[in-house]
Amino acid sequence: MSDLFMKIENLDVLGKLVKSWSTKKPYFWDADGKPLTWPEPKTMAEFRKVLQAAGAGAHIPAGIKRLRVVHYDADELVLRVPPKELIEGKEKQLKKDGGYPLPAFYQNDPPGMDPAATPEQKLEFHALRIGDYTIAHCN
């Protein structure tokens, strides 16, 4: 496990959390059908707690100390320029280890990419993509 990059086992959980913070709508429900919500975190400690409570299966390297949440408008492009260490760390890893690993949900014709997929499959794929995008950092 790299000490530079975050790892989330359940990217759909992170994606649904991000969707809920954006839309202010619930994307999780308890066994009785009641909505579950978690407040948008303001600190790394809060972010870690939310990920654990929601079941994201997160590994956040100890070196990540601060959290910045950015909300932006539809007419605005937010260009994320990653830190030099992350670019160089990934380049070093790729030269050493070979291939470029993608999350498993991108492989083997995921149902959510099929135009004939159910709305639920498409929304699940959407949540996975949002979760992946949120932590990608050029990884």
Planar angle of CA 101, 71, 124, nearest 5 degrees: 45
Helices of type H across 10-138: 11-23, 44-54, 84-97, 119-135
pLDDT at 62 exceeding the cut of 80: yes
Who contacts 57 (Cβ-Cβ below 8 Å, separation ≥6)?
Answer: 8, 9, 10, 13
Tokens standing for 47? 């972010």
In angstroms, rounded to a whole number, what is the distance separating the alpha carbons of residues 21 and 4?
A: 26
Q: What is the pLDDT of residues 99-119, one digit of tens each?
A: 777 888 887 778 788 888 899
Note the pLDDT tens digit of each residue in 21-57.
Answer: 999 999 999 999 999 999 999 999 999 999 999 999 9
3-17, 22-36, 94-108, 115-129 — which one is most confidently predicted on average? 22-36
The C-alpha atoms of residue 3 and residue 23 are separated, in whole angstroms, by 32
Token pair 């809920």: residue: 20
pLDDT band at 98 (very low <50, low <70, confident <90, very high): confident
Query: Residue 118 — φ and ψ, nearest 5°?
Result: -70, 160
The Cα 98–Cα 13 span in angstroms is: 29
Compute the distance between CA of residue 59 and CA of residue 100 in angstroms, rounded to an integer: 20
Query: What residues does each domain of the chain span?
Result: 7-87+97-135
58 vs 104, more confident = 58
